[in-house]
């Protein structure tokens, strides 16, 4: 709404645009901080041997809590998403009843830890691929989020070649040893030079005292001739 006055600029009511933007940014930041988040950890992939048992980790978090949180695991089978398991967590601390739709799958999550992880038994090469952990929280107006975990199934684990690492470590160690040797040699040289300089100073002082004595100067032991008496 604008109020017009004769000979005056239009008067704008309400906060300036910059203030509106700031308020919107603050509200958006608060809402984002409260949003549901699903996490599969800092390392979202795993390489496992065929026939072994592995755990696919997933946890959820929400600053305002949950209410009938829905979650599921899905497997990407060549572009087709297949549901692995699903359930609804009524509230904090309530253990869910999980429906499992895939063989050799076990739910091992604990709601008190916000954990919805699953276990895959006796994995095969067909089990390798992307697994999506999905969650939706009605308490946040059905805010949803998902995280992807990649499972790589191999015949045997690769042997890591540490040759380059050993070479680098040896080079760094050699450089450090060389630097320490240089510093020790430098300190020893300075010590020797200091001692030689002190010795030279002592020699100069001694030599100066001997010269003064021989020349009959003050402080010398040379015999002095008596002053002749006037007759």
Please give the mean pLDDT across all residues of the chain.
Answer: 81
Under a CB-based contact definition with an 8 Å cutoff, are residues 40 and 56 in contact? yes
Q: How many helices and strands, by DSSP H and E, does the chain display?
A: 2, 13
Say if residue 217's pLDDT is above 60: no
Q: Which residues contact 95 (CB under 8 A, 6 or more apart)?
A: 110, 111
Question: Is residue 73 within 8 Å of 85, Cβ to Cβ?
Answer: yes
Residues 6 or more apart whose CB falls under 8 angstroms from that of 106 comprise 100, 118, 119, 121
Tell me which fold the domain 35-154 belongs to.
Answer: Immunoglobulin-like (2.60.40)
Per residue in 14-47, pLDDT (tens digit) is 555 565 554 545 444 444 455 899 999 999 999 9
pLDDT, one tens digit per residue, over 34-87 is 589 999 999 999 999 999 999 999 999 999 999 999 999 999 999 999 999 999
Look at residue 215 in the predicted model and tell me its pLDDT: 56
What is the per-residue pLDDT for 50? 97
Is the distance from CB of 80 to CB of 185 less than 8 angstroms? no
Contact 96, 87 (CB under 8 A): yes
pLDDT at residue 6, as a whole number: 45
pLDDT at 37: 97
The pLDDT score that the predictor gives to residue 185 is 86
pTM of the model: 0.58
Domain range summary for the chain, segments of one domain joined by + = 35-154, 162-205
Give the pLDDT band of residue 118 (cuts 50, 70, 90). very high
Q: What is the pLDDT of residues 135-190, one digit of tens each?
A: 999 999 999 999 999 999 999 887 766 677 778 887 888 889 888 888 888 888 88
């Amino acid at each position: 709404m604008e109020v017009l006055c004769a000979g005056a600029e239009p008067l704008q009511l309400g906060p300036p645009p910059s203030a509106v933007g700031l308020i919107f940014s603050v509200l958006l930041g608060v809402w984002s901080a409260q949003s549901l988040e699903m996490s599969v950890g800092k390392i979202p992939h795993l390489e496992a041997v065929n026939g072994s048992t592995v755990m696919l980790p997933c946890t959820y978090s929400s600053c305002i809590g949950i209410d009938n949180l829905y979650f599921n695991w899905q497997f990407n089978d060549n572009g087709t998403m297949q549901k692995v398991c699903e359930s609804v967590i009524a509230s904090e601390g309530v253990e869910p009843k999980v429906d499992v739709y895939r063989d050799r799958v076990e739910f091992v999550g604990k709601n008190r830890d916000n954990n919805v992880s699953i276990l895959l038994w006796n994995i095969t090469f067909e089990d390798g691929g992307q697994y999506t952990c999905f969650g939706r929280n009605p308490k946040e107006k059905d805010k949803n989020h998902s995280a992807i975990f990649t499972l790589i199934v191999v015949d045997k684990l690769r042997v890591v070649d540490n040759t380059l690492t050993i070479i680098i470590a040896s080079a760094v160690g050699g450089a450090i040893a060389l630097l320490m040797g240089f510093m020790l040699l430098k300190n020893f040289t300075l010590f020797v030079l200091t001692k030689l300089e002190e010795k030279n100073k002592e020699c100069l002082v001694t030599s100066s005292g001997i010269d003064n004595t021989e020349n009959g100067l003050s402080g010398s032991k040379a015999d002095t001739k008596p002053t002749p008496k006037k007759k």
